[in-house]
C-alpha cells in the first residue's frame, strides 16, 4: 500500500466553475519531491491542506474535513477502460494517487501514516459540474455517482511531509462499519442509509452528520 503520486494544482481560469474567482485547481500534476500537508482550518476559511495546491471554491471545497483528497490508481484504471482514454495520476483532481489499498472500503475515522504525516478518513468527494466539465464527459456526475467509488477526503491529524512512493500504514481502524462507500451512497442516491453513518461518531464530517440527524428527525415525525 503506497502513494504513487502527490498532486497539486494551480489556479486556472475556466468558464465552467461555480467559484466566484472563475478559477479552479482541479488540474493537478504530480510533484517531484516531498509535499507538506497540514490542517488548513475550517471550511470556508481554509483551503487545501496540501502545500502549493489551490482550492478556488471555498464554499464547497477545502477545510479541515476536505484537506487532502485520495483516489486509487486502480479506480483510475477502471475509468480509463470505461472512457477509452488515458488518465494520468491526478486526472480526477486527487492530491494522493494510491496503489494497493481499497480506499473506498476505508472506515470513517480510519488513520493512515504516510511519510511523516498522519491522516484520517473524514468524508467523501461528491461529484460536481466542475469535475464533469473538466473531464468533458456527458452524464459524468450520474456515472460517477452510480459507481460509488469516490475516494476519501482526509483530515490532517499530524502535519508532515508526503513523498511519491511513501508507504501507507493503517495505524487505527475504528470499531464500526461506516465505510467511504456507505457514506457516499448515503449522501447521494440512498439517503435511507444516512442514519447508519452516525455510528462513525465524532469522526463523521459535520455536514454529513447534520444531514443524517435531519433525516432521522424527519422520518421520526413522519412515523
- Please tell me the predicted confidence (pLDDT) of residue 19: 62
Could you list the pLDDT tens digit for every one of the 223 residues in the chain? 999 999 998 878 877 676 667 777 788 999 999 999 999 999 877 789 999 998 867 777 889 999 999 999 999 999 999 999 999 999 999 999 999 999 999 999 999 999 999 999 999 999 988 898 889 999 999 999 999 999 999 999 999 999 999 999 999 999 999 999 999 999 999 999 999 999 999 999 999 999 999 999 998 887 6
**Is the CB of residue 110 less than 8 Å from the CB of residue 176?**
no
In a domain? residue 60: yes
Whether 115 maps to a domain, the answer reads yes
Give the Cα separation of 179 and 72 in Å (integer).
15
Domain-embedded: residue 204: no
- Which residue has 488518465 as its cell numbers? 87
Domain containing 84 equals 2-175
- Give the per-residue pLDDT at 185: 98
Predicted TM-score of the model (pTM): 0.93
What local confidence, expressed as pLDDT, does residue 188 receive? 97
Number of domains in the chain: 1
CATH code, 45: 2.40.33.20
Rounded to whole angstroms, the Cα distance separating 138 from 109 reads 34
Answer yes or no: is 194 within a domain. no
Q: What is the pLDDT of residues 104-131, one digit of tens each?
A: 999 999 999 999 999 999 999 999 888 9
| pLDDT at res. 70 | 98
- 197 SS3 class: helix
First to last CA, the chain: 46
On whether residue 73 sits in a domain, the answer given is yes
Here the cell at position 47 is 483551503
Q: Is residue 223 part of a domain?
A: no
Q: Is residue 141 part of a domain?
A: yes
Neighbours of 33 (CB within 10 A): 8
Q: Map grid coordinates 499530524 to a residue.
A: 158
199 lies in some domain: no
Amino acid at each position: 500500500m503506497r502513494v504513487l503520486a502527490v498532486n497539486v494544482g494551480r489556479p486556472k481560469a475556466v468558464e465552467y466553475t461555480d467559484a466566484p474567482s472563475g478559477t479552479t485547481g482541479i488540474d493537478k500534476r504530480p510533484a517531484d519531491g516531498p509535499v507538506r500537508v497540514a490542517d488548513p482550518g475550517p471550511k470556508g476559511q481554509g483551503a487545501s491542506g496540501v502545500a502549493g495546491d489551490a482550492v478556488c471554491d471555498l464554499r464547497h471545497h477545502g477545510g479541515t474535513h476536505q484537506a487532502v483528497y485520495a483516489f486509487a490508481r486502480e479506480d483510475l484504471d477502471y475509468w480509463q477502460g470505461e472512457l477509452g482514454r488515458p488518465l494520468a495520476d491526478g486526472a480526477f483532481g486527487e492530491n494522493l494517487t494510491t496503489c494497493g489499498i481499497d480506499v473506498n472500503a476505508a472506515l470513517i475515522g480510519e488513520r493512515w501514516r504516510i511519510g511523516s504525516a498522519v491522516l484520517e478518513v473524514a468524508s467523501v468527494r461528491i461529484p460536481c459540474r466542475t469535475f464533469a466539465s473538466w473531464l468533458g464527459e456527458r452524464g459524468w456526475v450520474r456515472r460517477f455517482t452510480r459507481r460509488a467509488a469516490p475516494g476519501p477526503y482526509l483530515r490532517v491529524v499530524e502535519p508532515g511531509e508526503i513523498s511519491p512512493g511513501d508507504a501507507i500504514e493503517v495505524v487505527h481502524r475504528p470499531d464500526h462499519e461506516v465505510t467511504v462507500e456507505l457514506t457516499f451512497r448515503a449522501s447521494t442516491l440512498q439517503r435511507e442509509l444516512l442514519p447508519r453513518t452516525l455510528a462513525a461518531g465524532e469522526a463523521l464530517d459535520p455536514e454529513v452528520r447534520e444531514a443524517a440527524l435531519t433525516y432521522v428527525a424527519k422520518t421520526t415525525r413522519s412515523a
